[in-house]
Amino acid sequence: MNRKNFLNFFKNEDEFLIASIFEDISLCLEIEYPVYGNCFLTPQIWLKLTNLCESIDLSVFKYGLTSLSEKQLIVFTPKNFDSNLLESPITFFKIDAFNKFKELQHKDFLGSIMSLGLKRETLGDILVKDNIGFCIALTSTYNIIKTSLQQINTIPIKILDISPNEIPEPQFKDFSETISSFRLDSIISSISNFSRTISVNLIESGDIMVNYTVEKSKSKIVEIGSVITIRKKGKFILYKTLGENKKGKFKILIKQYI
């Protein structure tokens, strides 16, 4: 595997991070044994890595808060390696800040954790429900959080490690839209209630991601199952087609992350 080509494949990402990932892959190929990443990666990176490793006879195992979580920690293994032999490098835990006076948000939990001086990439996604922050982190990061974090916005907390089965599923708002085509500009206009002109401007400005990759082609055909992110508007899944009307337009079910 050529280092220069690998770096160019991720040319829009942090070069130091990509170089580190290249070294992990090279080591795995050399020793034919699992190599664990040390940070949670964004979809723009781990999706490409998953596809790339298939072509070089490596497998990729991912650890995230849920199967739908954006940030994932990667473990590279030889092909057909028994996943039961992997040692989990992460800990699932919850931060219980239950109180009767203030409703806490994602930013409250993340801000309090980051105030400990930790690197953001050592912590995965955070899901907040009923003033409880459900989290995943490198075990070393979790140990620091457990011993050092005392409160969230002056509210006393309890920190407990938990099973992945205790993580609640992400919540969605379901709605349907009728679209004239599966072109990206048509999809954006329908789900955001923006005009077609504004939708095109958003696309061309780089404010739209399809499956976590910036997409600037307004005519791109979007497939059912795709995840669309509109900056400052939210994240949506084109869940399924509900049928076609007499005018040839399509009714689709959309799930919006909440």
Same domain membership, residue 176 and residue 131: no
Q: Which pLDDT belongs to residue 170?
A: 83
Same domain membership, residue 160 and residue 135: yes
Same domain membership, residue 96 and residue 64: no
Q: How far apart are CA 51 and CA 241, in angstroms?
A: 27
203 closest CA partner among 193, 194, 190, 216: 216
Same domain membership, residue 252 and residue 199: yes
Same domain membership, residue 231 and residue 157: no
Beta-carbon contacts of residue 13 (< 8 Å; ≥ 6 apart): 44, 45
Q: Which pLDDT belongs to residue 245?
A: 87
- Of 85, 107, 129, the last residue of a domain is 85
Same domain membership, residue 81 and residue 94: no
Total domains present in the chain: 3
Q: How far apart are CA 171 and CA 144, in angstroms?
A: 29
Q: How far apart are CA 22 and CA 33, in angstroms?
A: 15
Q: How far apart are CA 15 and CA 23, in angstroms?
A: 12
Q: Which pLDDT belongs to residue 225?
A: 87
Cβ neighbours around 221 below 10 Å, total = 12
Number of helices (H), then strands (E), belonging to the chain: the values are 7, 15
CATH number reported for the structural domain that contains residue 46 in this entry: 3.30.1370
Residues in the chain: 258
Range of the domain at 100: 90-166
CATH number reported for the structural domain that contains residue 98 in this entry: 3.30.70.330
Beta-carbon contacts of residue 126 (< 8 Å; ≥ 6 apart): 65, 106, 109, 110, 133, 134, 135
Give the position of tokens 């494949």: 9
Q: Which pLDDT belongs to residue 128?
A: 93
Q: What is the DSSP string of 78-133?
A: ETT--GGGPPP-EEEEEEE---SS----HHHHHHHHHTTT--GGGEEEEEEETTEE
Q: How far apart are CA 96 and CA 155, in angstroms?
A: 10
Same domain membership, residue 95 and residue 72: no
- Per-residue model confidence as pLDDT tens for the chain (258 residues): 789 999 998 987 899 999 999 999 999 999 999 999 999 998 889 988 988 998 898 999 999 999 888 899 999 999 989 988 999 999 999 999 999 899 999 999 999 999 999 999 999 999 999 999 999 999 999 999 999 999 999 999 999 999 999 999 888 899 999 999 999 999 999 999 899 999 999 999 999 999 888 899 999 999 998 999 998 888 999 999 999 888 889 999 999 987
- Of 47, 70, 85, the last residue of a domain is 85
- Of 112, 142, 166, the last residue of a domain is 166
Same domain membership, residue 127 and residue 107: yes
Read off the DSSP letter of residue 172. Answer: E
Same domain membership, residue 147 and residue 119: yes
- Has this prediction a pTM greater than 0.75? yes
CATH number reported for the structural domain that contains residue 183 in this entry: 3.10.290.10
